[in-house]
Amino acid sequence: MHLKIKFFILNFLIYFSCNAENTFLLEKLTFDSDVNFSNYEFLYLTKLKQNSFISDLEIKNAKKNLKSKGRFEKIIIKIDNLNNGKHVHFSLKGNWIFKKIYIIGVLFGKHDYSAFYKMQSGDYFDIDLHRLAIDKIVENLKFKGYYNCIVKDELIYNKDKTISVYIKIKRNKKFFINNINFDLSPNICTENESILITNFFQTKIFKNLNKKIATKENITKSTRKFLNYLKFLGFVNPKIIIKKNIYKKNNFLDLIFSINLGKKQKLGFVGNKNFSEKYIRQNFLGTDYPSWFFTPEIIAQELFDNYYKKGYWDSVIFYKKQKDGSFLFNINENLPIIIKNILVKDLENNLIKETDIFKELENKIFDEYLLNQFINKLTNRFLKHGFWDFKILDKSFKKNKKENSCDIVITINKGEQRFLGNIKIIPDLNFLSKKFFDKYQKLSDQDLKPFDYYWLLEQKNFILKKMQKLGYWYALVETILQEVLVDKKTKINLIWKINLGTQIKFGPTYLRGNSKVSFKKILKEMKFKEGDIWDSFNMDLTRKNLKKLDLFKMVQIEPNEIALSRDTGFVPINLTLIDKEPIEAAFRFGYFLTNKNFLFKKASTYRVGTSLIFNNPTNNLDKFTLNADLTRFERKFDFEYKMLSPFGINFDDSRVIGKLKVYSNKSINPVEVENSQSAYQSIENGILVGINNEFKRDYFWRFGIGNEWVRTEKVRGNINLDRRLINQTLPYFFISPSFVVEKINDHLDIKKGSINFASFRFMIPECEGKPIGKLTTEHSFFMPFYKDIIGALRIRLGYIFNSTFNTIQPSQRFFLGGPFTVRGYEKDAIPPYGVEEYVDEYGKIKKKYTIQGGSGMFNANLELRFPVYKLLHGVIFQDVGVLSQTGFAGFRGKWYPSTGVGLRYKTPIGSIRFDLGFKWKHLLPDDTNYSWYLTLGEVF
C-alpha cells in the first residue's frame, strides 16, 4: 500500500514538473543535413539525449548552438507525438561555403591576386566580397600598367554545397607613358619660380616618366619628388592632381599634372651655429605646420622658446622680409648657460641629500628636457622610499652673468613617510601564490621598512593577472589602507578585498572551415573541453598541437560571444580548420658550394629532390610521404607513413605519433686524395617502425626498432675495414631510443634557449659478429648579450661501444670537417687517414691518403652572431674537433681547431649562409690554409 502511494506521488511530481516547465519525453531524436555533419557533432552541439525529459528552452538552445556553427542557413524543427513522448527532427539546410580560389592565366605571382580575396576557405560565400575582390584585382593590374586587362570569373557550385572560384586573368600588354604636361593653378609664383618649376619638371619628372611603364609606383614616386621640390621652394601644402588620358588601341597614356601651389611661405635662417637649418625645421618648427602658424612673430617666439629650453637663454632672434616675400631669420645664439649646481631644499630651506641624482647634469649645458627627466627620477626615488605625497613645489634659476652659468634650486615637499605593515587578502584565497607575497611579508617583519608606492601597483597587477588566468575575468580588487602609528611612525596595513565575480569557463566548440577530419578526433586533440575553467594557455597549446599534425593549411582558434560571458559564465570557441590538399607535390633544388682544392675536386654538388604527400588518406589523422633526393654523391629514396595514436596508443594526456619508414640509400664517398675516384660506395636498405611523443611541453622521446641491410663495395684505398666485410650484404636488427629537450624562442631565428639531444642505437648482427652500440649526444646553448648580439655554443660527443674499429661499417662511423662541424676543413676531412704508397709513372714513390673516420668523436662550435644591415647578419666562430679509433684514449691525439667569419642572409625558409674558416693545422703538405662554404641553414 505504501509502495503504491509513493509511486503515485512520484508520477504526480514528474507530471507537475513537466507541465510547469513545458517539458516532455524525447522518445526519438533525428536530423538530416544537406552538408557533411556527423551525428557525434550534432549531439555535442544540441546536448539533447534520447529517452530523457527536455524543455522548450533546451530545444531553443540546441537551435542556437547549431546556428552558431555558421554552417547552416536554415534550421527547421519538427515535433511529432509518439506513444510515450515526442519525436524531434532537425532539418538542416547548409550555407554555400567558399572552398578555394584558382587563378588562371598568371604563371608567377598568383598569391598577389588571391590575397585580394578576403574570404577564407570555409567561410560563408558572400557575393559582395567576391565582386569587391574582382574590382581590387582589376585595380591592381592597372596599378601595374595593365590598363587593357580582362578579368573574368566563374563560380562552380559543388555537390557538397561549396563554391570553387575560378578567376581568369588576361593582362595583355603593359601601357607606356607618352606625353607628360603640367599646368599651374592658380598661378601665384614669380616668373623666376615658374622657370625653376618648369626646368625641374622637364629634367626630373618628364625624364623619369617619359616612355616608361605606366605603373602607380613610378607615377607616385615622381609625384612625391615634385611635391618635395615645391615645398623646398617655400610653398606650403601644395597639391597635385594627375589626369590620365588612356589610349587602349595604342597601349599608352598621357599624364597631366594639375598643380595647386598653395600659399608661399618660405623661411631662411642665418647665424645658427649649434643647430643646423634641418634640425631647426624638424625639431623646433616641425615639417608640416598650418598656414595660420606662418606669421614671423609666432615663428620668432617659437625659435626663442626652443633655444631657451636648450640652454641658450641670451639668444637674440629677429627677422626681415625679403623681396620675394620670404622671411629671413637672423639668429644670434650667444653662449649657452652651464649648470653649476643643482640644490634640492625642503620647506624649511634645509638641503636634501638626494642631490647626487643630478651630478650628471652639473657642468653641462642646460637642457630643460633632461632636467625634467632627472626630476622624475627624484620623484620616483622618494615614492620608492615611502613618501607617497611627494611634490615639486618650485624650480628657481639663479643666473651668474659673469660665468654664464646658473644654479638651480628645486623646492620640494616630502610629505609623510609611510612604512610597510601587514598584508592581508580577503577572502583568503589559497590559489594565490604565497611566494609572491612572502617577500613583502618578510620586509614588513623588519623594523620600519619604507613602503614603496609602486608595490601597490605591482601587487594589484599580480592579483588581477592571477584572477584572469583562473577565469575570473571580472574580478574587482579593492585596496584598503589602514594607518597605524608605531613610535610616531606611520605603518600601513594593506588589505586586498577581492570580489571574484563569475568564473569564466569554456563553452562549446564550433567547428568551422573546411575539414574532412571527424569532429570527434579533433576534440581529442584539444587541451580543454566544455566546462573547463578558462585558460588561454591551453587554447594556445591546442592550436600548436593541431598545427603539429601538419594536415591543415590553416588553424585558427578564437573566443566567441565574449560580451555575454559576464552573464552566462561561458565563452564559446570558434575553431576554424582548413585541410591541406589531399595530394601535394613538392620539388626542391639546391647547390652545395665550396672552394676547390686538391683534397676534394668533386666536393661541390647540386641537390635535387621531390616529395609526393598524401594528407589524411584514411581519415585517421595520418600522412603518407614518398621522398627522393639526388646529389652527385648520394641517392636517397624512402616512403614514410605517420599516424596519430596508432592502435589507440596514448600516454596520460599526451598523444603518440607512430611512424613506418622504408628506405634505400646509396652514397659514394668522395674522400680519396690525389685523384677523383671515390673511397667506397655504401648501400643501406632498411625498415623502421617507431613512435614519438611530447610527454611534456618541449620534452620529446622517440623509440624505434627496425632492420637494416648494409653493403660496402667498390673500395679504393685504405679505409681500415675488414676485407671479409667488403662486397657483402650484412643485415642487422637495431633498437634506437632518443630524447630531446628543446627550449628555444624560435626555430628559424634562435636568440635564446637550449637544445639537448641524446640517442643510442643498439645494433645486433644477424649473421656473425657481436652487438655494438652507438651513442650520440648534442647540447646547444643560446644567450643574448646585448639586443640582437647572440652567443651560441654547441658540444657534440659520439662513441661506438663494444667493437674494434675495422669491423665498423664506414656508414656508421663518425666524420668531422665541413660546413656543419669544423668549417676550416673540407667535408669529412679530419684525420685519421689511411696511407698507401705507390710508384707513379715516373718511378717516384708517392703516398695516397684515404679518410677513415672514427669510433669516437668530440666537436665544439662557439659563435658570436650579430646584425650587420637589415636582414644581413655576421658571425665570428671558433670550431674544434677530434676523432679517435681507439676509444676515449684517442682524444689525447691531435685536435683540429678552426677560426673564421661568416655572413647570414635571413629568409622565410632559413638563412643563406657563407662561412670562411681558417685552419690552425695543415692536414697534408700541400694543404690549403682555409675552406669556404655557401649553403642554406645555420650550423646549429
Q: Which CATH number fits domain 97-170: 3.40.50.720, 1.20.1050.10, 3.90.15.10, 3.10.20.310?
A: 3.10.20.310
pLDDT at 789 over 70: yes
What's the confidence (pLDDT) of residue 431?
Answer: 58
Which range among 411-415, 458-462, 485-489, 861-865 has the greatest average pLDDT? 861-865
The class (CATH top level) of 2-94 is alpha beta
Q: Per CATH, is 584-936 categorized as 1.20.1260.10?
A: no
What does residue 673 show for φ and ψ, rounded to 5 degrees?
-85, 155
Which among 758, 919, 915, 778 has a CA at the least distance from the CA of 858? 778
Percent of all residues in the chain with a pLDDT value above 90, rounded to a whole number: 54
Q: Which of 7-21, 672-686, 822-836 has the highest mean pLDDT?
A: 822-836
Confidence of residue 346 (pLDDT cuts 50, 70, 90): confident
Average pLDDT over residues 199-227: 90
d(CA 222, CA 715): 68
Residue 601 has what pLDDT?
47
Instruction: Give the model's pLDDT for residue 442.
Output: 66
- The pLDDT-based confidence of 16 (bands split at 50, 70, 90) is very low
pLDDT at 60: 94
Res. 767 pLDDT band, cuts 50 70 90: confident
Instruction: Count how many Cα atoms sit within 13 Å of the Cα of residue 442 in the half-sphere of its side chain.
Output: 6
What residue spans define the domains of the chain? 2-94, 97-170, 176-263, 265-332, 338-368+383-413, 418-499, 514-578, 584-936
- pLDDT score recorded for residue 673: 52
Q: Distance (Å, rounded) from C-alpha 238 to C-alpha 295?
A: 19
Whether pLDDT at 600 is above 50: no
Average pLDDT over residues 275-290: 77
Closest C-alpha among 369, 407, 409, 410 to residue 390 = 410
CATH for 176-263, options being 3.40.50.300, 3.10.20.310, 3.50.50.60, 3.40.50.1110: 3.10.20.310
Integer angstrom CA distances of residue 686 from 264, 737, 774, 814: 83, 17, 17, 20
pLDDT at residue number 913: 92
Q: Is residue 479 within a helix (H) or strand (E), and if so which, with residue range?
A: strand 476-486
Burial class (CB in 10 A: 0-12, 13-18, 19+), 657: buried
User: pLDDT at residue 355 above 70?
Assistant: no
Contact 928, 595 (CB under 8 A): yes
Regarding beta strands 896-907 and 872-884, do their DSSP bridges make them parallel or antiparallel, or are they unpaired?
Answer: antiparallel
Is the pLDDT assigned to residue 315 strictly greater than 50?
A: yes
Q: What is the DSSP letter of 728?
A: -
Residue 498 pLDDT greater than 50, yes or no = yes
105 contact partners, CB below 8 Å, separation of at least 6: 168, 169, 170, 171
pLDDT band for position 17 (cuts 50, 70, 90): very low
Q: What pLDDT is recorded for position 15?
A: 45
Over range 742-761, report the average pLDDT: 91
Round to whole Å and give the CA distance between 330 and 113. Answer: 56
Given a cut of 70, is residue 828 above it in pLDDT?
yes
Q: Greater confidence, 843 or 17? A: 843
Identify the top-confidence range among 181-185, 281-285, 497-501: 497-501
Q: Per DSSP, what are the bridge partners of residue 23?
A: 55
Three-point CA angle 490, 496, 502, nearest 5°: 170
Nearest CA to 339 among 375, 367, 312, 364? 364
User: 418-499 is classed in which CATH architecture?
Assistant: Roll (3.10)
C-alpha to C-alpha distances, 502 to 150, 473, 793, nearest whole angstrom: 58, 8, 49
pLDDT at 488: 82
CATH homologous superfamily of 514-578 equals: membrane protein fhac (3.10.20.310)
Going from the C-alpha of 776 to that of each of 70, 77, 706, 754, the distances in angstroms are 52, 64, 19, 17
- Beta partners for residue 860, in sequence order: 795, 880
pLDDT score, position 364? 93
CATH topology of 265-332 equal to that of 584-936? no
Question: Phi then psi for 359, rounded to 5 degrees?
Answer: -60, -35
What CATH superfamily is the domain 265-332?
Answer: membrane protein fhac (3.10.20.310)
Taking alpha carbons only, the member of 48, 31, 43 closest to residue 94 is: 31
User: Is the pLDDT score of 143 beyond 90?
Assistant: yes
pLDDT of residue 187: 59
pLDDT of residue 485: 86
SS3 553: strand
Share of the chain above pLDDT 70, in %: 93
- C-alpha span between 818 and 816 (Å, rounded): 7
The average confidence (pLDDT) of the chain is 88
Helix (H, G, I), strand (E, B) or coil at 31: strand
pLDDT (average), residues 352-375: 88
The whole-number average pLDDT for the span 769-797 is 93
* Dihedral sign (CA 103, 108, 110, 112): negative
**How far is 919 from 595, CA to CA, in rounded Å?**
14
Task: Check whether 7 has a pLDDT greater than 80.
Answer: no
List the single range of 3-12, 17-26, 798-807 with lowest mean pLDDT: 3-12
pLDDT of residue 266: 77
Cell of 344: 634640492
250-276 mean pLDDT: 87
Q: How confident is the model at residue 499 (pLDDT cuts 50, 70, 90)?
A: very high
Average pLDDT rounded to a whole number, residues 6-20:
46
CA gap 385, 477 in Å, rounded: 24
pLDDT digits (tens, 9 = 90+) for 890-918: 888 789 999 999 999 988 778 899 999 99
Query: For the segment 531-582, what is each residue's pLDDT rounded down to a tens digit?
Result: 999 998 899 989 988 998 899 999 999 999 898 998 899 999 999 999 999 9
pLDDT confidence of residue 393 = 93
Q: What is the dihedral of CA 292, 296, 297, 298, to 10 degrees?
A: 40
